[in-house]
Amino acid sequence: MSGLLTLRGLSRPVLGDLLDSAERYGKQLEGRDKESSELAGVTVTTVFFEPSTRTLLSFQKAAAHLGAHVMSFNPEVSSLEKGESLRDTVLTLSALGSDLLVVRHGGVGVPGLVARWTGLPVVNAGDGRGEHPTQTLADALTMRKHFGALEGLRMGLVGDIRNSRVARGHLWALPTLGVDVTLIGPRSLLPVANPWGVRIETDLDSALEGLDVVYLLRVQRERGAAAGFPSVSAYASRFGLTQTRLSRLHPSAVIMHPGPINRGVEICDAAADGPRSLILEQVANGVPIRMAVLAAAMGAE
Amino acid sequence: MIIVKGARVWRRSGLVEAAVVIEGDRVVEVGTVTAPPGARVIEARGAILGPGLVDIHVHLRDPGQTWKEDFSTGSMAAVAGGFTAVVAMPNTAPPIDSVKAVKEVIDRSAEVGLVDIAVAGALTRSREGLGMADFDAMYEAGVRLFTDDGDSVADSGLLRRIMAYLCDLPRAVVAEHAEDRSLTRGGHLNEGAVAASHGIGGLPAVAEEVVVARDLALAADTGARLHIQHVSTAGSVSMIRRAKESGLAVTCEVTPHHLRLDESAVDRLDPNFKMYPPLRTAGDRQALVEALEDGTVDAVATDHAPHSVAEKDVPFEEAPRGVIGLETSASVAWEALNGDAGLFFERLSAAPARIASLDRHGQPVEPGSVANLVLFDPDRSWKPRSFYSKSSNSPFLGSTLSGRVMATIHEGSVVYEGDADE
């Protein structure tokens, strides 16, 4: 594995190995000796063209735990502001001695383009509405740790699926791992086609009781999702996880969300903060999964 | 004197093997001839000779964007592709919306002299969609095709008045780029499985079809001659087929890339496969090929749209729309038409010449006809690796194509001769 651009086409063993490796890193992080030197001498550069808190910090922490040197590129204080092209910018970062780039960008496919331009391994940290592979893997790890196995888990992806890179990553990887995925949302926010062949529901209430995992997607207001429904309150009443809906969940069902959450829109406080919520585990699992991905991307494992 | 020997020649009666004698700007003899001393003989056994190809939809980027293409490189690309006439679209900078702009293009392009460059005029002033362009003066200067190509005329009332007005100018054609911008905003490839796979905004078939439906209704209402540019969907084709059956004066064109490729080719997100209209589904592609065969689609037109490497080597969603087509059109169309020479010359030469009123082009090869000719070898396969065009944004770069232009004769002069052992 050289870099991680997409989950599409990755086999079950490849995905499984990443999760296994992440689980080992997770144990390492719980122990006394958290640091390793696997990536000593390697320069990992984070190149985030879109704002991010958890993903950026999580990659930086993961790289540090592996002993890598971390450089960080910030477009707001860079020569991009002076009109430097994307290509020239990443070639500069390569020339500065980066060994691996972690790229987030608003354009679909940009990590692949950067890999082609620089010849470096690139990890996709979110490309437009394309994918967010390490989020998907962190979520898979979270579910596997919670339920013990992924095979046969019934997961409902709820909300703005059309505009969600998280959903798209899930759709490429989770069925491969045996998860039974159902898309639940208004027709206007469902994908324009279903190349994954998954089940689709437009009524959350009828789908709710059969789910082991209710995965709520953020309403992506910045990507124009608001045009897909009449109002935030209309959305919340059809697809928000309200108190009433919370009480109808299967006893062992869990709630997940990639964050940042819109409280009162897709999720009520009781759901976000209650015992069923795995939201903070998702964040915590982001570090070991990114360690696994960075290590694999550099051929360390 | 030039004598082309051994080729099968597209005559009024069909394809027949004959020698063709060219003197001055005319074909003077077709049949069995002995070459007089001093005559230039082109040995063309195995090839077919027909009227020079006519492309009624090219972007030569001149004036205003000559880093992409100019009259000189565009003319070379045209003749290398077997074309003896092209119609330049008016969405230049500034747009061709006045007789002054028309004359500038005609005069400057004629200096190159390799190929007839006709010009389409804008439908609306400055291509802004607000008021009529200067039709009468442009018509007087020879313009017959009017289009805001790149955009539809969104205002139906204005388009209706334009159609009514152009009815009074014989053979004037309203050519429409069918795209409802409110349905394509944020879109970059066909709305379908590939768009969903990547999470990239789609360009739905209905964005074209609502405009085709409206335009057909307006043409029926006004009696205008309507030409739909680059049709791309099965739905458009079936509406146009019905309109033709009902006697409407409508014509349409298809691009070579829509005949050969479908949306699956865009899966690698190579911007050289990004254009409008986008590559559609396999079913759409099949419908287009059938429509080209049955005559619902009148003409093949390339929508030759050069963009520089720097402009195209960017994220897919940021890349400009458009691909070049002049140098590969004949080969791609030949394959799409299964090597039917009659249909080939009808759809790539005769019909487009009629639509654009280019009367010196598109005629069968007969004594007395103008010597605008192409010599095409159906048995030569080749891989486009470089182009005469200033740009190389072709979806066929490196593909194996069957059939190749051997020579192009414009007004009696050989303006292009392919390298035989390339």
What is the tens place of the pLDDT at every residue in B249-268?
Answer: 999 999 999 999 999 999 99
Q: Is A110 on the interface with B (CB under 8 A)?
A: yes
Interface of B with A (CB under 8 A): 186, 191-193, 195-202, 204, 269, 310, 313-318
Task: Check A105 against B269: CB less than 8 A apart.
Answer: no
Beta strands A100-105 and A43-48 are: parallel
Per-residue tokens: B240:
């146009």
In this predicted model, what pLDDT tens digit does every residue of A252-298 receive, in sequence order?
Answer: 999 999 999 999 999 999 999 999 999 999 999 999 999 999 999 99
Minimal CA–CA distance to B61: which of B326, B363, B375, B337?
B326
Give yes or no: residues B391 and B337 share one domain.
no
Beta strands B48-51 and B83-88 are: unpaired
The predicted structure's pLDDT at residue A228: 83
Give yes or no: residues A260 and A214 share one domain.
yes
The predicted structure's pLDDT at residue A263: 93
A40 to A62, A68, A103, B71, B239: CA distances (angstroms): 13, 5, 21, 57, 65
Closest in B195, B315, B316 to A192, CB measured: B195
CA dist B300 and B10 (Å) reads 18
A185, part of any domain: yes
From A115's Cα to the closest Cα of chain B, the distance in A is 12
Q: pLDDT-based confidence at A300, cuts 50/70/90?
A: low
Chain position carrying tokens 């019905």: B242
Task: Check A112 against B191: CB less than 8 A apart.
Answer: no
Closest in A107, A112, A163 to B318, CB measured: A107
Report, in this order, helix, strand and coil percent for chain B, each rounded to 5.
30, 25, 45
**Number of domains composing chain B:** 2
A102, part of any domain: yes
Q: Is A171 on the interface with B (CB under 8 A)?
A: no
Find chain A residues with C-beta within 8 A of B200's C-beta.
108, 128-130
Name the more confident of A223 and A180. A180
Catalytic residue among B70, B149, B284, B303: B303
Whether residue A225 has pLDDT greater than 60? no
Average model confidence (pLDDT) for chain B?
Answer: 97
Closest in A86, A108, A192 to B317, CB measured: A108
Task: Check B198 against A108: CB less than 8 A apart.
Answer: yes
Q: pLDDT-based confidence at A84, cuts 50/70/90?
A: confident
Give yes or no: residues A290 and A190 share one domain.
no
Find chain A residues with C-beta within 8 A of B315's C-beta.
86, 105, 107-110, 113
The predicted structure's pLDDT at residue A233: 87
Find chain B residues with C-beta within 8 A of A110's C-beta.
315
Cis upstream peptide for B94 (omega within 30°): yes
The predicted structure's pLDDT at residue A32: 83
Task: Check B315 against A112: CB less than 8 A apart.
Answer: no
The predicted structure's pLDDT at residue A31: 87
The predicted structure's pLDDT at residue A74: 84
Q: What angle do CA B116, B122, B127 make, to 5 degrees?
A: 140
Give yes or no: residues A74 and A140 share one domain.
no
Give yes or no: residues B305 and B347 share one domain.
yes
Mean of pLDDT values over A41-62: 94
Give yes or no: residues A81 and A175 share one domain.
no
Task: Check B191 against A192: CB less than 8 A apart.
Answer: yes
Give yes or no: residues B68 and B36 share one domain.
no
Cis upstream peptide for B256 (omega within 30°): no
Give yes or no: residues A264 and A274 share one domain.
yes
B180 is catalytic: no
Give yes or no: residues B394 and B312 share one domain.
no
Give yes or no: residues A203 and A118 share one domain.
no
Find chain B residues with C-beta within 8 A of A195's C-beta.
193, 196-197
The predicted structure's pLDDT at residue A76: 76
From B188's Cα to the closest Cα of chain A, the distance in A is 11
CATH number at residue B123: 3.20.20.140
In this predicted model, what pLDDT tens digit does every residue of A126-184 receive, in sequence order?
Answer: 999 999 999 999 999 999 999 999 999 999 999 999 999 999 999 999 999 999 999 99
Mean of pLDDT values over A80-106: 90
CATH number at residue B372: 2.30.40.10
**Domain enclosing residue B322, as ranges:** 52-355
The predicted structure's pLDDT at residue A1: 64
A166 to A219, B20, B34, B286: CA distances (angstroms): 12, 66, 75, 35
Mean of pLDDT values over A211-222: 88
CATH number at residue A89: 3.40.50.1370
CA dihedral B69, B75, B76, B82 (to 10 degrees): 130
From B217's Cα to the closest Cα of chain A, the distance in A is 29
Residue A96 CB-half CA count within 13 A: 18
The predicted structure's pLDDT at residue B36: 81
Extract the residue ranges of chain B whose pLDDT is less than 50. 421-422
Q: Is A105 on the interface with B (CB under 8 A)?
A: yes
How many pairs of residues across A and B have Cβ atoms under 8 Å apart?
Answer: 59
B324, part of any domain: yes
DSSP state of B146: E
Q: Which long-range contacts (CB under 8 A, 24 or more apart) does B191-196 make?
A: B191/A192, B191/A193, B192/A192, B192/A193, B192/B263, B192/B280, B192/B281, B193/A193, B193/A195, B193/B263, B194/B263, B194/B264, B194/B266, B194/B267, B195/A192, B195/A193, B195/B263, B196/A191, B196/A192, B196/A193, B196/A194, B196/A195
**Domain enclosing residue A156, as ranges:** 133-282
Sign of torsion over alpha carbons A228, A53, A68, A115: positive
Q: Is A131 on the interface with B (CB under 8 A)?
A: yes
The predicted structure's pLDDT at residue B33: 83
Q: Is A165 on the interface with B (CB under 8 A)?
A: yes
Which residues fall within 8 angstroms of residue A280, CB to CB, at 6 or more apart? none
Give yes or no: residues B42 and B61 share one domain.
no
